[in-house]
A and B are shown apart, each in its own frame.
Chain A
Amino acid sequence: MEYISLQNIGLVTGFLLILTGLYGALTNKNILRIIVSFTIFDAGLNLVIVALSYMKGRVAPIIDKTTGIHHLSDKFVDPVPQALVLTSIVIGVGVTGVMLTYALKMFKTRQSLDIKDFKETKW
């Protein structure tokens, strides 16, 4: 029973999402499906980072009437991973947009989204 904590639930969900995303990116042949797999991988990674900063009995790092302004480092969870994940989500959006644009361009040149039709850069 000691393994069932909120942090472990978050970690396991994140790990499963990471493995699902990696499996999808390695097995699918359609470019759009690969892009969706990468976004699933991204979501899992962000979930793991946030779950690692969780501590039992502590609250989100926002000062209000219930927390007061004294001894805050004994009441708050770690704000740094949350700030990092904020950055990571925004960069994920940018990368996904660029990937989708490449996919559109590739479809325009070959009328196909199957990576088997693009062999020029294959080694």
Chain B
Amino acid sequence: MYKNLFIIVILAGLGILLGRFLLTHHENTSLPELPAYYTDNADHEVGAANVVTAVVVTYRGFDTLGEVTILFVAASLIAMFLKNGLVRKERDPRPSSVILSTAQKLLFPLIVLFGVYVFANGHLTPGGGFQGGAIIATGFLLLLMANPQAEFKHGLFNSIESISGISYVVIGILGAILGLGFLDNRFLPLGHLGRLFSAGAIPVIYSLIGLKVGAELSNILHHLNEVQNEE
């Protein structure tokens, strides 16, 4: 009884707090100083048409390195928890329907291609490494749904992940040596604003992040799927 009262008090308190904020706040009419600097200078300093990408990969690139690390730690934790004592059980599941397996064969390459498109154009259009990687992982999810017994080449996925992670850090250090600071994208030519090969190292960094995130999320999906094949 006290517990229910406690929950009601917490929810009502938070609701009143949020409601008061809603009634008293005002929409901004101009950008604060820092975002105004980012939007005004992203085109000639970074050369990326997508200002959000310029902020994520260059201005706040160190945060993104931390973000990639967090995802890596999560994937390693999941692998560690689910890898113990894996004994494969011979299952004979009902084969998936013709529609699903045919559609999977047709759609899988297209989904992976779309993911590559999204992360390769991250500096020009909405999208980027994390989104492209997530799209590639949905392709592998479709593969696992059509064929739950599918075997992934773990070695290949792990090497893709490690190589792209190391290359990301190496490019960051190259930026410090050849450019102005860690993760500076200007050691490669900035090119013409809006072209595919522009914005210095941003397309390279975002492609590496896309490969890394795609491999990590596919590995997580495969580990979670493997559980039902265990004894």
Contact = CB atoms under 8 A, between A and B. Distances in A.
A22 interface: yes
A55 B193 contact: no
B96 interface: no
Contact of B55 (A80, A95, A101): A80
A100 interface: yes
Interface string B73-93: 111011001100000000000
Given A26-B7, A55-B29, A94 B74 contact: yes
Nearest to B67: A87
Interface of B is mostly: helix
A15 B43 contact: no
B227 A104 contact: yes
B39 interface: yes
Given A69-B193, A87-B63, A93-B217, A12 B22 contact: yes
A115 interface: no
B67 A91 contact: yes
Contacts, number: 137
A73 B40 contact: yes
Interface residues of B, number: 58
A94 to B, nearest CB: 3
Nearest to A94: B74
Interface of B: 7, 10-11, 14-15, 18-19, 22-23, 27-32, 34-36, 38-40, 42-44, 49-52, 54-56, 60, 63-64, 67, 70-71, 73-75, 77-78, 81-82, 124-126, 128, 130, 134, 193-194, 213, 217, 220, 223-224, 227
Given A61-B52, A87-B63, 14 more contacts: A8-B22, A19-B18, A22-B10, A63-B43, A63-B193, A69-B44, A72-B39, A73-B30, A73-B39, A90-B130, A97-B74, A97-B220, A98-B77, A104-B82
